[in-house]
Structure 1
Amino acid sequence: MELTGIESTVALVTGAAQGIGAAVAGVLAGAGARVAAVDRNPEALATVVTKLEAEGESARGYVVDVCDSEAVDALVQRVEQELGPIGILVNAAGVLHTGRVVELSDRQWSDTFSVNASGVFHMSRAVARRMIQHRHGSIVTVASNAAGVPRTEMAAYAASKAASAQFTRCLGLELSDYGIRCNIVSPGSTETPMLRAMLGDGADLRPVIDGTPAAYRVGIPLRKVAQPRDVAEAVAYLVSDQAGHVTMHDLYVDGGAALHV
């Protein structure tokens, strides 16, 4: 199925310097979107944008920290001035601090929520204000299956992703009168730098696939860890015309790991 409604649309993607965000930027650019790739890591972001440009895609990099509300507002204004009205927003920026609750620091907790929850709020608010004027648009937040399934040593991450998911549903309800759709994609374990940082470089992925009973974690029924493009393709569907009657939906892309109903 060919996805429509993406070509020539300005798509702002946060967390675009690596992992799922970079994959989303690539898939949307490949579908003809004019991508505003956003990240706070200028070097890694430049590498992604240069690669897309070399492939003949339309992409421009913008360095911003989504935790900074004023900087986000200024960025959104700049993107619309330089590229045109934003028709797609993908909130893919995220951080992960692991550890048991009794060992988590205040800084780790606040940093996690600053990016994963407040960052989604800042960017969504800034873009939604402009989408309302156009009476058109699609917003997708990349959450996590951990938002719906308790995980040991992942309390801050899980809680922040649950907050961003519920926020996106509420946003979708408020924006529905303007024809703006808001959805969530919830990945499970995905082959990204974040996963490798959590497990350690060169770690065996079989326990992730098989499950860990001692950690109350089931395995992945499809017997494989997701690739970033698996998640990016789900995002592309949700922002396309083919999902034109889908809003406030949470699409799990986890190989069945959450046993989600």
Structure 2
Amino acid sequence: MVSGAAQGIGECLVRRLLEQGARVAALDLKQAGLERLAATLDAGERLSLHPLDVADTQAVDQAVAAAEAIHGPIDHLASVAGVLQMGRVVDLEDHEWERALSINAGGPFRLARAVARRMIPRRRGAIVVVSSNAAGTPRMEMGAYAASKAAATQLTRCLGLELAEYGIRCNVVSPGSTDTGMQRGMWADESGRAKVIEGSLASFKAGIPLGKIATPDDVSDAILFLLSPRAGHITLHDLRIDGGATFDLG
């Protein structure tokens, strides 16, 4: 099961999973985006589409039940859906703050809760939540986003502790700047990429030591690893995919 599947990292991950022969339940708020994705694939019955808002508990529970009815037990969950909320803290409206928390932290909570309840009796499963390196690094005009991602990170680690006795692993992937629509939407012009890589002393933001921003494949590689048996003894881990931008600070 992959949320945020209609674009960016989520779309890339769906494609990669299908290439490996997996059955995938693709979740996203954008039904048209899901249908566009399906039209570019030849996945047949291995792909099911579930348009929903991850802030809606009933919709999440129904999608999990429907996915298991179609594909069988959900053994892997990648919670990728998220929104970018910009703005200085003193200027944020209540609804902007609440939207960021409800989707970026509440979405992983609702999905993981629904899936984990089914994984526990089976005593197997792997969950990966896509957070952000902003969860551990203060950023100008990103208070709501950073706080919501910090909540998602700690939620996942606590869940991993609670589920360890059942053999269920829970990990976090924390990308930095990644070449997605969300990232490009923050750029004022074509120089945006170079400015991100360079960093900004005025806004207290470090650049990227590797000299490039991540691709969706870079992040998908990390998610696929943590979902796989190759990561069989890894849980409660937060894997940074940011080219060294946060110097691996917690």
TM-score (norm: length of structure 1): 0.93
Which of 22, 25, 48 lines up with 1:36 in the alignment? 25
Q: What is aligned with 2:180?
A: 192
Task: Indicate if the aligned counterparts of 1:53 and 1:59 stay in contact, CA closer than 8 A.
Answer: no
Counterpart residue number, 1:67: 55
Q: Are the aligned partners of 1:52 and 1:58 in contact in 2 as well (CA < 8 Å)? A: no
Letter of the structure 1 residue corresponding to residue 159 of structure 2: L
Quote the Cα distance in structure 1 between the aligned partners of 2:72 and 2:202: 51
Unaligned runs of 5+ in 2: none
1:4-47 deviations in Å (ceiling 9; x for gaps): xxxxxxxx000000011111111111122101110010001111
Where does residue 252 of structure 1 map in the other structure?
Answer: 240
Q: Indicate conservation of the 8 Å contact 2:130/2:172, yes or no.
A: yes
Displacement of 1:57: 8.9
Q: 1:201 to 1:214 in 2, by over 3 A?
A: closer
Aligned-pair distance for 1:203?
A: 4.6
Taking structure 2 as the reference length, what is the TM-score of the superposition? 0.96
Does the CA contact (< 8 Å) of 1:37 and 1:49 recur in 2?
Answer: no
In 1: Cα distance, 2:225 partner to 2:186 partner: 29
The SS at the match of 1:85 is coil
Query: 1:80 is aligned with what amino acid?
Result: E
Give the AA of the match of 1:136.
R
Distance 1:53 1:203 in 2: 37
Give the alignment partner of residue 49 of structure 1, picking from 38, 41, 57. 38
Aligned residues: 249
Distance 2:152 2:92 in 1: 20
Whole-angstrom distance in 2 between the partners of 1:58 and 1:211: 42
Matches within 5 A, 1:10-25: 12-25=1-14
- 1:207 shift after superposition: 1.1
Shift of 1:196: 1.3
Q: Which stretches of structure 1, 4 residues or longer, exceed 3 Å deviation after superposition? A: 200-203
Matched, 1:102 2:101: no
SS of 1:36's equivalent in the other structure is: strand
Q: Helix, strand or coil for the counterpart of 1:131?
A: helix
Q: Distance in 2 between matches of 1:237 and 1:169?
A: 17
Structure 1 residue aligned with 2:171: 183
In structure 2, C-alpha distance between the alignment counterparts of 1:79 and 1:200, rounded to whole Å: 40
Give the deviation of 1:212 after TM superposition: 0.3
Alignment check: 8 A CA contact 1:52 1:59 kept: no
- The residue correspondences of 1:49-198 to structure 2 (distance < 5 A) are 49-53=38-42, 58-198=46-186
- Report if aligned partners of 1:184, 1:250 keep a CA contact under 8 Å in 2: yes
Residue 235 of structure 1 corresponds to 223
Determine if contact 2:174/2:240 at 8 Å carries over to the other structure. yes
1:259 and 1:117, CA in 2 relative to 1: closer, same or farther beyond 3 A? Answer: same
Alpha-carbon displacement from aligned partner over 1:158-200 (angstroms, at most 9, x marks no partner): 0000000000000000000110000000000000010111224
Structure 1 residues 241, 214: closer, same or farther in 2, change over 3 A? same
Which residue of structure 2 aligns with residue 7 of structure 1? none
Aligned to 2:210: 222
